[in-house]
Amino acid sequence: MSMGSRGAGRVAVFIDPWREEVERLDARSPARIAAERQRRGLETDGLPQRLLERCEEEGWDGTHLRGLIKAYVPLREGPASERPYGFVFRPARYQGRFVLALVAYGERHPPPGTRSVYERAHKRLHGRYPGE
């Protein structure tokens, strides 16, 4: 179990489903490369709270992600349009402290025929994709 340590203004992160969520992608794909660039920081430092946003409870695409939190990738400040990928996390408690557990990773707004990170998160939570 990998967990980034928490510093001031940061939240620890569990990235257990990394293989299912990131390594499923081709090693040369921009989405996988972007995630792998973030991995070391997630494992060692966690995530800055300022980069976290709540997911919409009900998305336009039929997703239901109540209580989940997202971070756009690359993990930096700037317009969301310049950060095409995303991590979706669920809040959890570990040894009495607040942590984030990785639920899904992927493209935020992929081309038709590809599931978005939000659809992947919905499936992990509900056992099916929206609309199934």
Mean pLDDT, residues 109-117 taken together: 94
First to last CA, the chain: 32
Band of pLDDT at residue 3, cut at 50, 70 and 90: low
Residue range 10-126, CATH number: 3.30.2310.20
**Which residue from 31, 104, 17 is spatially nearest to 65, judged by alpha carbons?**
104
SS3 82: helix
* Domains in the chain: boundaries: 10-126
Residue 78 has pLDDT above 60, yes or no: yes
C-beta of residue 52 within 8 angstroms of C-beta of residue 38: no
CB atoms within 10 A of CB 7: 12
